[in-house]
Structure 1
């Protein structure tokens, strides 16, 4: 191959790469469209592969002239791996099943949250944010933090979607945690789920381990009128002020919402609330650990997408093991263990 041919090939490859960068948003838009049209639910209810004519008859497409464009959407969804196709029939993949309403581990609310206008607007402020003094791109877009924005009554819907998304995610993680990581709870008599929202994780732990007294700590407006029973309690409070005493403190997807300074503050409050390691004290963290050499490429891409999301919405980040270790040392913890057992995320135990 001549030099000119090599250059041409490289340029064509570069063009293909940049096209894919430019058009990345289409995948999210197409999946959102499929969800809003009800494609996953229709295929799920049909219980077997479905031809396009039968599928289109069940969808909420009012204008019949739009039906002729449906094959374009379906072709894209198949090519991107969202749907499966055999001859002229379509059926769900494990991924598209996660958008089915009746799927207990569905991620419908997370999809809605990331595509809602308030969040989408923040992405358009990303380059401006790098050049201004605003704490987050979300703040640049709305003049306030995500937490303050969701706390306003007029934006309550966004907050409801957010906490429902957390609950859905927690159901999947907790299912794995309880069935495959039982050692984490051995010897515990009490546990506080800090920032536990409506209590999805703590409820499951309390049920699976009746000898552990579980409590959920979150802001009073999040806890609302939720009432505990048996070995489960709900406590309205601020983790930056005080965390109730317990053998173990659980932080699921909490620290990636905050910058390093605030993470150290939270971890110091946790340390104040647990006994020594000799008496069984520890903090349990469920969060992403970047740069795990054994991680699959698909996981790595998803982790870095979440890293960007945390930066845009919260001015925070995901962390490598070295970055986690730095936080633990600054907060006064002596030892930690990382278990890469939760897919995109890892289980971390830290000890005083």
Structure 2
């Protein structure tokens, strides 16, 4: 039988898990208030009174900010330094909050992160929209139902792209999040695995949107001719030769232009195994045209990590893909299966992008 101490710890853990959604909502609130930006404007640190003077809070809500900040600091999003003497000769002590690596990712100022405004705050706002949070609330009912509707459709009446087409606010939040994620990944890929672009002359970014990743590649490797393939409505209005990037309207299920490298950045996790095989078959056909040995570069999750935090993030993202699209994040054996069915012989997985990996795929 469990001891009293074990029972009380178990109860505390249940409370922590059942109220875990408040962590997400606290982070959402901090992004909406611009807490990270306020700390950045104050030089990276600010006392609670200084934050109160900076943030757009009505007087009636100011007494509650400390409770929000304590939760965020406990979760490691900000650093709290207690007992700091009040400046300007005042009496008593206060708490000073500092930016750390995590909260710097939320800053919108281009002067941070080595000159790159990644603005991952946009990603927080997307994952905490009422539409996506509402779909998670449908999971219990979805598991008990025999229908084909996803939890997202059960909550919103349409799939995500359908909601985006009818809800301008959701569409804007979604597009801003995708652009922010692309900026962040582009910088990391160029920094951590730029060698995958050595010795090549052409690359097609499949489903590359408005070309954020392709522009980063051409900037770092001017010798590489980059093209972006996406649906006509996605690339409509984008300059045909913006930053030496060519935009091609088309359907990746039907045809992918030939190139030395084909890039699939966070594409395949949206699709079923059968559709992934179709897409990868088109990729194999595209790299088989050239004289050089072609390669497909996949940036996606390979579930499984020695880091508990990364593994937890991967499993939560897998649940989100299930809720949104009935899609999934894949383990290595899942990837191996679709690679083989698409006619590829060899692959190399490099888990160098946190929750995501770079997979190099060869014929």
Partner of residue 211 from structure 2, selected from 199, 213, 218: 199
The structure-2 alpha-carbon separation of the partners of 1:345 and 1:48, relative to structure 1 and needing over 3 Å to count, comes to closer
Cα distance, 1:71 vs. partner? Answer: 1.7
Which of residues 56, 61, 77 is equivalent to 2:57? 61
Of 153, 161, 180, which residue of structure 2 is paired with 1:147?
A: 161
CA-CA distance at 1:317 after TM superposition: 0.8
Q: Secondary structure in 1 aligned to 2:226?
A: strand
Tell me the residue number matched to 2:191: 179
| 2-structure distance, mates of 1:65, 1:22 | 29
2:104 maps to 1:90: no
Q: Kindly state the Cα deviation for residue 210 of structure 1 after the two structures are TM-superposed.
A: 1.8
Does the Cα contact within 8 Å between 1:105 and 1:168 map onto a contact in 2?
yes
Is 1:31 the counterpart of 2:42? The answer is: no
Query: In structure 2, what is the Cα distance between the partners aligned to 1:13 and 1:68?
Result: 31
Q: CA deviation at 1:141?
A: 2.1
Task: Give the TM-score normalised by structure 2.
Answer: 0.89
152, 156, 169: which one pairs with 2:168?
Answer: 156
Q: What is aligned with 2:43?
A: 47
TM (norm. structure 1) is: 0.92
Judged with a 3 Å threshold, the aligned counterparts in structure 2 of structure 1 residues 92 and 279 are, in CA distance, closer, same or farther, namely same
Aligned length: 343
CA RMSD between the two structures = 1.8
Match of 2:292 among 276, 279, 287: 279
Mapped partners of 2:253, 2:212: distance in 1: 22
Deviation at 1:253, TM superposition (A): 0.5
CA contact (8 A) 2:118 2:181 kept: yes
2:150 is aligned to 136
CA distance 1:276–1:339, change in 2 (3 Å): farther
Per mean C-alpha deviation after superposition, the further-off stretch among 160-169 and 274-283 is 274-283
| Residue number in structure 1 paired with 2:359 | 348
Q: Structure 2 regions of 5+ residues with no counterpart?
A: 84-94
Q: Does 1:268 align with 2:281?
A: yes
Does the 8 Å CA contact 1:134/1:140 hold for their aligned counterparts?
no
Q: Counterpart of 1:100?
A: 107
- Partner-residue secondary structure (3-state), 1:251: strand
Provide the C-alpha distance between the structure 2 equivalents of 1:269 and 1:129, rounded to a whole number of angstroms: 34
Q: 1:252 to 1:69 in 2, by over 3 A?
A: same
2:127 is aligned to 114
- 76-85 or 318-327, which deviates more: 76-85
Structure 1: 5+ residue stretches without partners: none
Match status 1:296 vs 2:296: no
Cα shift readout 1:217-259 (whole Å, capped 9, x = no counterpart): 1121211211124641011222122211212110011111112
**1:190 and 1:212 in contact (8 A); partners too:** yes
Aligned residue in 1 for 2:226: 214
CA contact (8 A) 1:163 1:198 kept: no
Change (3 A) 1:250 1:48: closer
Residues 215, 243 of structure 2: 8 Å contact kept: no
**Cα distance, 1:183 vs. partner?**
2.1
Verify: 1:329 aligned to 2:340, yes or no: yes
What is the deviation of 1:48?
Answer: 4.7
